[in-house]
Chain A
Amino acid sequence: MTLVVLESADDELSRQALTLGESLGQARTVTIEGPYAPAAWAAAIVEAAQGDDIVGPGSDRGNEVLAHVAAQLDLPLAANVTDVRGDELTRIRWGGTLLEEARLHSDRRLMTAAPFAFAPSNSLLQAQVLAPNLDGAVAVVDHVAPDTGGKVSLADAKVVVSGGRGVGSAEGFAILEELAALLDAAVGCSRVVTSAGWRPHSDQVGQTGTKVSPDLYIACGISGATQHIAGCKGAKALLAINADREATIFAHADYAVIGDLHEIVPAITAELRKAKGA
């Protein structure tokens, strides 16, 4: 039997984890009630699982709770798995830009499902609800939300206008802001840009920044390092604007414009205004 941990019955990544769980054997599901307390939640899962395999979603919480489960049981954990073949599996490394084939040396399998590696399961669920013992547990005591000033967030935006080293300066982002405002888009950037202090880290798209999945990602002056691709490969379409026709970003792009973004971006903004009759 496989115990599948769901964040909630309608959570997309949890449904994907259920598909992985069902591929390992007969699956049953649990959800957890009350304030988030990773160690206490894990203890409740360990108790409910008895000797079964345990699978969770490859979300921040899924990976965290399963790591607590693994530490409590002193068993190996394979995080972000994309495929299982008996005791062999494939999992992602480097934010999904590299894969690892590995062997799990354990009679009991603990793993999380890499986001978007599995189709969500449509099984009707009757999840067992666990109530962890929170006595003395490390638990969430408050939640703070950033002031976005009414702007669409990077993670939720349908369009992202993103800049890299080629933008050249903090001030250089003004033309990207202008285009973004017309498209109701969020502005993003690459790691080089945040390291240089041109934009805050909350704007960073990448393996160590925000992972985005907009309808369109416009990459301006971004070379296409794997660190960045790990954050934007979920985009449905990618338009790259780059002066270097050999730039790696073009190998990940659906549409390409070659040339200086400082000319091209304002020209697109002007053309868009014309089209909108503004």
Chain B
Amino acid sequence: MRILCCVKRVPITGGRMVLTADAQAIETKHLGFTISPHEECGVEEAVRIVEAGGGEVVVLTLGPEEAAEQIRDCMAIGADRGIHLVSSEEWDAQGTAAAIADAIRADSENTGPFDLIVMGNESADAGGYQVGIRVAYALGLPVVTGLKGLAVDGGRARCEQEAPGGRDVYDVALPAVVTVKEGLNLPRYPSVPAKLRAKSKPLDARAVDRPASQLEKLRLVVPEGSRKQAEILGEGREAAPRVVEVLQQLGVA
């Protein structure tokens, strides 16, 4: 199986959203970065499939120079090589999907077609819920979203999509695009030797130009009125009687 996984670099936001002075981005001076959570599970799943049956896992990202860190992190959990579309700007969903589809097409011409393209159901930051679906249309492939379960066998994929009260099941022919959700698996922690090996795996980086945004971000806003003044019921175990009173007032005890 040849599998391509798309990942996005996002900040680890902590407890409070703080914006840059121009309100165009989250202030990240004091923040770390990570792979958007759904996508981390996507890479883990791809690596498990290839570990079990052979093949190749390629990781693709569209992001700033620093997003190479996230590609190396994917390599440390088992991805074989990376494609980095370098741009420091924020792209809308249509532009992102077109750039990803172009890169997949170009890579396929050189190395052969991918059996499976794995993306996150939605990114942690922009949350557009559409890039995976648009990539599928651009490549003329079927797509199933929101997977919490995936089994690949004999050129088909059994996909379990999270749905109210359980999971909806789909059976699709490969090649296909799937989008996944966190909980699909528990991603491994990379070992130190794996991190070292990751440094020497091939990474193809090239600059890309952003097209005009059809959904154009004007500014970000931290929602008002979410801060509350909590009533302090007490400290330590002495607070228990007062807590039970409150539970009774709320009608839950």
In the complex, what distance in Å separates the CA atom of A252 from the CA atom of B15?
A: 11
Known A201-B183, A253-B228, A257-B234; contact A76-B170, beta-carbon cutoff 8 A: no
Q: For chain A, what secondary structure do more than half of its interface residues adopt (helix, strand, loop), or is it mixed?
A: mixed
- Which of A23-31, A66-74, A120-128 faces chain B? A66-74
Tally of chain A residues near chain B (CB < 8 A): 94
In the complex, what distance in Å separates the CA atom of A140 from the CA atom of B147?
A: 13
A225 touching B17, Cβ below 8 Å: no
B248 touching A257, Cβ below 8 Å: no
Closest chain B residue, CB of each to CB of A250: B230
Q: For chain B, what secondary structure do more than half of its interface residues adopt (helix, strand, loop), or is it mixed?
A: mixed
Scan residues 158-175 of chain B and give those whose CB is less than 8 A from a CB of chain A: 160-172
Show the binding face of B for A, using Cβ within 8 Å: 13-17, 26, 37-38, 92-94, 122, 124-130, 133-134, 136-137, 142-146, 160-172, 181-183, 186, 212-223, 226-228, 230-237, 239-241, 243-244, 246-248, 250-253
Known A80-B127, A260-B236; contact A60-B163, beta-carbon cutoff 8 A: yes
B228 touching A254, Cβ below 8 Å: yes
In the complex, what distance in Å separates the CA atom of A97 from the CA atom of B226?
A: 9
Given pairs A237-B250, A271-B240, 12 additional interface contacts (CB within 8 A)? A76-B92, A77-B93, A98-B26, A138-B144, A138-B172, A140-B161, A140-B168, A145-B165, A146-B166, A233-B226, A257-B233, A258-B234
Cβ of A197 under 8 Å from chain B: yes
Cβ of A88 under 8 Å from chain B: yes
B145 touching A207, Cβ below 8 Å: no
In the bound complex, residues from chain B placing their C-beta under 8 Å from that of A100 are: 126, 217-221
In the bound complex, residues from chain A placing their C-beta under 8 Å from that of B128 are: 77, 79
B234 touching A215, Cβ below 8 Å: no
Question: For B163, B166, B168, which residue has the most chain A Cβ atoms within 10 angstroms?
Answer: B168
In the bound complex, residues from chain A placing their C-beta under 8 Å from that of B212 are: 105
B170 touching A71, Cβ below 8 Å: no
In the complex, what distance in Å separates the CA atom of A97 from the CA atom of B143?
A: 29
A76 touching B93, Cβ below 8 Å: yes
1/0 per residue, CB under 8 A from B, across A138-149: the answer is: 111111111000
Closest chain B residue, CB of each to CB of A137: B142
Q: With both chains docked as a complex, state the minimum distance between the C-beta of A57 and any C-beta of chain B, in angstroms.
A: 12
A64 touching B186, Cβ below 8 Å: no
A268 touching B240, Cβ below 8 Å: yes
Contact residue among A70, A96, A237 (Cβ-Cβ distance under 8 Å from B130): A70
Question: For A93, A106, A216, which residue has the most chain B Cβ atoms within 10 angstroms?
Answer: A93
Which 9 pairs across A and B sit closest by C-beta, in order of nearness?
A248-B15, A201-B183, A145-B166, A76-B214, A267-B237, A67-B130, A267-B240, A142-B169, A259-B236
B227 touching A251, Cβ below 8 Å: yes
